[in-house]
Amino acid sequence: MESTSHEVLIRLSAFIACFAVLAFAERRAPRRRLAIARRARWSGNLGLVAIDTIVREKLALVELEGVEHLMPSELSGGMRKRVALARSIAMEPQCILYDEPTTGLDPIMADVINRLIRSLQKRIGVTSIVVTHDLHSAMQVGDELALIHEGRVVFTGTPAEAHETESVLVRQFIEGNSENVTGAV
C-alpha cells in the first residue's frame, strides 16, 4: 500500500524525534547503543537475551559481527557509520534519512556504505532518503534524484535521466564544470 506524503512526514518526524532521544548514546559500546534504540522503540518490553539477539542481527546486517562490546574509540570512522546504521535499523523503520553518509570516508569505505544502503533497501524493504554532495554516491544509491540549487528543486529524475538532461545547470553539476557559474574562482 502506498503511503501519502502526510503519512511519510509523520513517520519521518517520529524518526527524527527518536534520533534526538538516542543522541546521548554516542559514547557507549555498539551493543549498548542498539539496545537503547530498541528500548526507546518498545519501551523496554524486551528481555536482555532478545535485545542481544537483535543487536547481533542488526550488526551482522551492516557487516560488523563481533564488535558489540567495543567502545567508539576502538572503531574506525566507517565502522562508526555502520553502527549508526545498525542502530537505525534496530528501530525497524520504513524510511531512513541519511545526511552525508559518505562524508569523511575514503573511497573504498564510501563504497561499502553505499552498498550497505542499497543492500538494506532490498533486504529489509526500507526507503532511503540520502542527502549528499557526493555525486558518485547519489548515482549509486538513488533510484530517483533531486537536485536543489539556491533553495529550489531544479531537477528530479533517475540517474540515467540526469546524465541525459539538456539542462545546463544539471550538466554542470554532473560534469563538475564550474565554467560560467556565479561565484566560481
DSSP secondary-structure letter at 90? H
Chain centroid offset of residue 135 CA: 15
46 φ, ψ (degrees, to nearest 5): -105, 145
Whether 126 and 95 have beta carbons less than 8 Å apart is answered as: yes
Predicted model pTM: 0.69
Q: Taken in order 7, 89, 133, 169, is the CA torsion positive or negative? A: negative
pLDDT one-digit tens code per residue, 148-158: 888 889 999 99
Side-chain half-sphere of 87: how many Cα atoms within 13 Å?
A: 30
Predicted confidence at residue 159, as pLDDT, reads 94
**Mean pLDDT for the chain overall:** 77
> Which of 168, 169, 142 lies closest to 157 in space, CA to CA?
142
pLDDT one-digit tens code per residue, 41-94: 554 566 667 777 888 888 899 988 888 777 777 888 888 888 888 888 887 888
> Which of 5, 46, 3, 28 lies closest to 87 in space, CA to CA?
28
CA distance linking residue 99 with residue 92, whole number of Å: 19
